[in-house]
Chains A and B, each alone.
Chain A
Amino acid sequence: MNAAAAEIKRAVADAHRREWAFVLAATARVAGDIELAEECVQDAYLRALDTWARDGVPGNPGAWLTTTARRLALDAHRRDRTLRSKLPLLVEPDAAPDAEDVEADVVPDDRLRLVFTCCHPALAREAQVALTLRLVCGVSTGDIAQAFLVSEPTMAARVTRAKKKISAARIAYRVPEAHELPDRLDAVLTVVHLLYTTGHTAPTGRDLVRVDLVERALDLARMLHSLMPDEREVRGLLALLLLADARRATRIAPDGRLLLLAEQDRSRWDRAAIDEGVGLVFDALRGGRPGRFALQAAIAALHAEAPSYAETDWRQVVGLYDELLRVWPSPVVALNRTAAVAMVDGPAAALVEVEALERDGRLAGYRYLTATKADLLRRLGRNKEAIAAYRAALELADNATERAFLAGRITELSAG
């Protein structure tokens, strides 16, 4: 391939990454059908390879792709009237545009409609995640399947089922009204956060594809923040992801060993990401009761800014966890809180809370509950019980790095 062709290919790939959501969202409105819109957008990207090679990369690649995809959708309708879906995508409140609108210079930004449609609560969480990756991020079904460790046909069926439900149940292609927004937005943020955590701590297997999930989650959080700059929870989510990701390079030792927060080399944390995250946290906390993402981001900010693990403001961390439990009474939050309690009131006090969570039963089989208990027992010098707990945690862990960490602890304690 010559240099010019390589450059065109790069320009198209770049436009795919940056403009896919915009192009698809705008095309869906004209196509009146998500499936048709997807085909037209894919076709537009293919055509870009030839046309741009011949005529040069247009000044505004996104606009070129949108116009091309929308024309293709319109042509498809003209060619075959019956192609017009029996169950058209419901674009409200404004009616689907006609041919003249397609040629118009200003294309409405429909990305929020697309995101809220993909994350509609009538769709199962795993379908929301898959649809968001496919339709908003433009990730291929094969890559999504790989990232979530299911076969490609399984993932394809999941995506198809979800798209069918959108049209058959008439899930409207719109941004929720103000009174619905908090709940609906929470679903969107949950999906993005889930993408991030799946990439951040790969549940099983190698982590090659997972870095991509982390990047996609960050891209999505940035996109949402640019589209909804006043939503404090969106700010909170972006801050949380930036602050967590600032530590990415220091989570694994050169020998592949998992490094805990206490052991990480803080000088290698990404300062630019931390500064950006901390700035967003301040805004997210201001003006009314903060939500769960803002509070998690605030906790992450305290860690990010502490000179060392010991010198972290643990009292404030516990206080933020208390606040977080009030807005989000989840046993996982209660478990994370115990780590901070151990630093303020000692491991014995934390163990009491961990054992209460064990009795509660909702976290049965959750590997971090057992691992936390093991760690507290170890710090209390109750080695025999600690080894038993580490063994139980090892049974539950699939990730190779995590398994090595737990096995290492068992060896240490058995020797000592």
Chain B
Amino acid sequence: MAQYLILIYESETGWQDAPPEAWQQAMEAHNRFAQQVGELGGSLLGGNALQPTTTATTIRDDIVTDGPFVETKEALGGYYLIEAKDLDQALAIAKLCPAPYGGVEVRPVMTFDE
């Protein structure tokens, strides 16, 4: 088994303008997703939703500035850490991850010698 991070990139304005029902639906979709990971043979190790990029603070060369590194239309809004047997299984799981205002990126977690 290997670990993958599913990074959820979505339009922040999409969520700002979203009606309450959309938030409700998203909550349900994420709860459902947590179930489906196991059904597909993987396991969910963790995950979180993030506050919007307006709350981000960047540190580079010890200089603290406000905002993310780069302004993009879609920003990292949350993530899941999952375990899967290979990329195909990780992708099958990631396809079910809700991201109505964007998409997800799947990254293998690097392993180091113990």
Partners in one complex: yes
Give me the interface of A with B, judged by CB distance under 8 Å.
86-87, 90, 92, 120, 122, 168-172, 176, 180
Per-residue CB contact flags for chain B residues 88-107 toward chain A (1 = under 8 Å, else 0) read 10110000000000000000
B108 touches A172 (CB 8 A): no
Taking a contact as CB atoms under 8 Å apart, the answer to whether B111 and A122 are in contact is no
Task: Check B87–A122 contact: CB distance below 8 A.
Answer: yes
Chain A nearest Cβ from B88, distance in angstroms? 6
Q: How many A-B residue pairs have CB under 8 A?
A: 29
CA distance A169 to B113 in the complex (A): 17
Contact residue among B85, B108, B111 (Cβ-Cβ distance under 8 Å from A169) = B108
Inter-chain contact B108/A168, CB cutoff 8 Å: yes
Could you write out 13 A-B pairs with CB less than 8 Å apart? Answer: A86-B111, A90-B86, A122-B87, A122-B91, A169-B87, A170-B2, A170-B86, A170-B90, A170-B108, A171-B88, A172-B87, A172-B88, A180-B88
B contact residues vs A (CB 8 Å cutoff): 2, 85-88, 90-91, 108, 110-111, 113
Which residues from A are CB-within-8-Å of B110? 168
Main secondary structure of the interface of A (DSSP, over half): loop
Q: Which 8 A-B pairs have the closest CB atoms?
A: A172-B86, A170-B86, A169-B108, A169-B87, A171-B87, A170-B2, A170-B87, A90-B86
A92, B86: Cβ atoms closer than 8 Å: yes
* Shortest beta-carbon distance from A245 to chain B in Å: 34
Minimum CB–CB distance for B89 against chain A, Å: 9
With both chains docked as a complex, state the minimum distance between the C-beta of A120 and any C-beta of chain B, in angstroms.
8
Set of chain B residues within 8 Å of A92, measured between Cβ atoms? 85-86
Minimum CB distance partner of A172 in chain B? B86
CB of B113 within 8 A of CB of A171, answer no
Contacts of B88 in A (CB 8 A): 171-172, 176, 180
CA distance A120 to B91 in the complex (A): 12
**B86: which A residues are within 8 A, CB to CB?**
90, 92, 170-172
Set of chain B residues within 8 Å of A170, measured between Cβ atoms: 2, 85-87, 90, 108
Docked complex Cα distance between A87 and B85 (Å):
13
A406 to B72, CA, bound (A): 44
Q: Looking at the assembled complex, report how far the CB atom of B6 sits from the nearest CB atom of chain A, in whole angstroms.
A: 13
> What residues of B have a CB within 8 angstroms of the CB of A176 in the complex?
88
Distance of A122 Cα from B90 Cα, bound (Å): 12
Cβ of B111: which chain A residues have Cβ within 8 Å of it? Answer: 86-87
B32 nearest CB across to chain A (Å): 21
Q: Contacts of A171 on B, CB cut-off 8 Å? A: 86-88
Q: Which of A90, A92, A169 has the most CB of B within 10 A?
A: A169
Q: Which residues of B contact A168 (CB under 8 A)?
A: 108, 110
Complex: chain A residue closest to B2, CB-CB: A170
A176 to B89, CA, bound (A): 11
Chain A residues lying within 8 Å of B90, measured Cβ to Cβ, are: 170
- Residues of B contacting A180 with CB < 8 Å? 88
How far apart are B112's CB and chain A's nearest CB, in angstroms? Answer: 9
Q: Which A residues are CB-close (under 8 A) to B85?
A: 90, 92, 170, 172
Q: How far is the CA of A90 from the CA of B90 in the complex (A)?
A: 14
Known: A92-B86, A170-B108. 9 other contacts (CB 8 A): A90-B86, A92-B85, A168-B108, A170-B85, A171-B87, A172-B85, A172-B86, A172-B88, A176-B88
* Minimum C-beta distance from B50 to chain A (A): 24
CB distance from B30 to the nearest CB of A (A): 24
For B113, the chain A residues whose CB sits under 8 A away are: 86
Q: Tell me which residues across on chain B come within 8 A of A172, comparing CB atoms.
A: 85-88
Complex Cα spacing A397 to B110, Å: 45
Complexed CA–CA distance, A87 and B86 (Å)? 12
A43 to B86, CA, bound (A): 30
In the complex, what residue of chain B is closest to A166 when comparing beta carbons? B87
A177: nearest chain-B partner, CB-CB: B88
Q: For B91, list chain A residues within 8 Å (CB).
A: 122
Q: Which B residues lie within 8 Å of A120 (CB)?
A: 87
Q: Which residue of B lies closest to A90 (CB)?
A: B86
Residue in B87, B90, B91, B111 with the greatest tally of chain A CB atoms within 10 Å: B87
